[in-house]
Amino acid sequence: MASFQLKRYEKNPIIEPIIENPWEAIMTFNTAALLLDDKVFLLYRARGTRGGISRIGYARSNDGFKIDERLSEPVYLPDPIHDREAFGCEDPRLTMIGDRIYMVYSAYGTVPGMMSIQKWVQLAITSISVDDFRKKKWNWSKPVYPFPYTDNKDAYLLPEKHKGRFVLYHRIPQHIWVGYSDDGKNFVDNNIIMKPEGYGWEYYKIGGGAPPIKTEKGWLMVYHSVDNRSYYRLGLAFLDLEDPSRVIYRHPEPILEPGEVYEKTGDTSNVTFTCGAVIKDGKLLVYYGAADMVIGVAYADMKDVLKLF
């Protein structure tokens, strides 16, 4: 069994709440990551109050570590009169396919028509042109909800179509599923591809983390796990390049787990949770929410990652 751990950036956290901005005054966490023009773009979840509505903020890093730009206003907002997102947009993931960037997120809202309020989390998908994203023109498409009122989250798209179809990874508890779509709206042929393996660190459930990254050995996928004490850790797996539903390697140990104070103490203690990773300058950079309060980055040399199997 190969021993392998991500290394934390020594200047973590890289993103923290800004009290002067009411929408992100308390919590900034769970960020998507996209490599574009050799820069890393982060769209992160933020809250202005504990338990409040989640909105999506924007930051950019030229080297993948230091934040060079951060906008003072959110770039994506829930529709305040829309039942499906009444309580916010959570945990975004970004995938670029062709000339569009797709964001899959968790829509936290209510079931309409109920005599009493019933809260619900379900998948939502929106997109924006690469050109608009570069220009910061936030012309997001109208969101679609591919699994209406299904307890489903932690989802993302494969960065390319497979046999002409979109590939979506998602989490119906307690497993990671895959589904396929011709139109990016209706996903069929859904099957479980990963289950908790009974290891102590992923005893309770597993779910998606960062969208897969193409490598010479397969699609690299970082996922998350929860043990019987509700500790959130990160795991690593590879999927077959020819069949992205087939797991060809699954690392037997967590690659990151709560250890630092900012990971162990927060709104939800003992959490390391990723929504995005990139390969830049020969390194795997994994961006993660720590204790549902701040954002850190951890990394490894890709040559070491590819030696795991």
Say which CATH number the domain at 136 has: 2.115.10.20
Whether 5 is in a domain gets the answer: no
| Residue-wise pLDDT tens digits, 72-127 | 999 999 976 678 898 999 999 999 999 999 999 999 998 877 788 888 899 999 99
DSSP string, 72-84: SS-SB---TT-GG
Q: CA-CA distance, 80 to 65, in Å (whole number)?
A: 34
Whether 1 is in a domain gets the answer: no
DSSP string, 120-143: EEEEEEEEEEHHHHHHT---PPPP
Q: CA-CA distance, 309 to 301, in Å (whole number)?
A: 15
Q: What angle do CA 54, 201, 155 make, to 5 degrees?
A: 35
| Residue-wise pLDDT tens digits, 4-32 | 999 999 999 999 999 999 999 999 999 99
Tally the domains of the chain.
Answer: 1
**pLDDT reported for residue 54:** 97
Residue type, position 85, single letter: E
Q: CA-CA distance, 224 to 209, in Å (whole number)?
A: 6
Whether 253 is in a domain gets the answer: yes
**pLDDT reported for residue 11:** 98
Whether 4 is in a domain gets the answer: no
Instruction: Chunk the chain into consecutive blocks of 10 residues (it has 309) and report each block's average pLDDT, rounded to whole numbers.
Output: 86 98 98 98 97 96 98 92 88 98 95 82 97 98 93 97 98 97 96 90 96 98 97 98 97 97 97 98 98 98 96
Taking the whole predicted model, whether its pTM rises above 0.95 is answered as: yes
**pLDDT reported for residue 64:** 98
Whether 32 is in a domain gets the answer: yes
| Domain of residue 202, residue span | 13-305
